[in-house]
A = this chain, B = another copy of it.
Amino acid sequence: MKDADAPAILCTVDVVLLTLQQGRLQAALLRRDRAPFAGALALPGGYIHAQEDVDAHASAARVLRDKAGLQSPYLEQLATFSGPVRDPRGWSVAVAYCALVPPDVLLPAQDRISLVDVNALPPLPFDHRQIIDTALQRVRSKSQYSSLPVHLCAEPFTLPQLQAVYEAVLGEPINKVSFRRKVDELAMLEAVPGALQMGGAHRPAQLYRVRGAYRHALSLSARGL
């Protein structure tokens, strides 16, 4: 058994909510309404509620819902950060999650959320900067060999749009032919019959959506792209 006089460890979750606007990765930050760091921009986060949450994943989903007013289909555990100094209230464990959403999902929560370019982050409280950096590393790494970035695309989308999303996340241009070969191999998309993106002064593009089976699971490729 534990020492009765040991101070309890604080159990929290933090969510790195990423989206893409104007071709740049953006992190969603909330202004804190209470101490510590009241008034500062920080990651959406909060205590785990043992009474209502079935696990930390549920805590993260609840934080997103209650504090940002939205639901993210893609919500993956990132890593856990811990120690006596990361939170001034005491020894804490923060299970960090990463959420990816298309820009339109954020519209209803627009007034509560501040979107910040991940390449121009302001100073952040706690170890939130480190948490975001870990999320970026993970997202960029996973994007090299999986269908992860489709979660940043509002459906339906065209292949050129999806390629632009990959290029924004990875930060480098991708060969069009190779990209399309890979997307085809991954077999995660299906063309929306008869749906074409019209309007441009050019040939219209086929619209695609994610196959049901891959809506929550990722499709992985043995090699890159």
Contacts and interface: CB of A to CB of B under 8 A. Distances in A.
B48 A93 contact: yes
Copies of this protein in the assembly total 2
Contact of A54 (B48, B56, B84, B93): B84
A95 B77 contact: no
Given A55-B83, A82-B95, A93-B95, 15 more contacts: A2-B47, A6-B50, A6-B51, A9-B11, A9-B50, A11-B11, A48-B91, A50-B84, A50-B90, A56-B80, A56-B93, A80-B95, A93-B93, A223-B223, A223-B224
Contacts of A51: 6
Contacts of A224: 222-223
Interface in A41-93: 47-51, 54-57, 77, 79-84, 90-91, 93
Interface in A208-225: 222-224
A56 B47 CA distance: 18
A161 to B, nearest CB: 26
A56 B11 CA distance: 13
Q: Which 3 A-B pairs have the closest CB atoms?
A: A50-B91, A55-B83, A56-B82
A7 interface: yes
Contacts of A107: none
Nearest to A51: B6
A174 to B, nearest CB: 14
A86 to B, nearest CB: 9
B77 A79 contact: yes
17 contacts: A2-B47, A6-B50, A11-B11, A11-B93, A48-B91, A48-B93, A54-B83, A54-B84, A55-B82, A55-B83, A56-B83, A56-B93, A77-B80, A80-B80, A93-B95, A223-B223, A223-B224
Interface residues of A, number: 29
Contacts of A90: 50
A9 B82 CA distance: 15
A8 interface: yes
Nearest to A49: B6
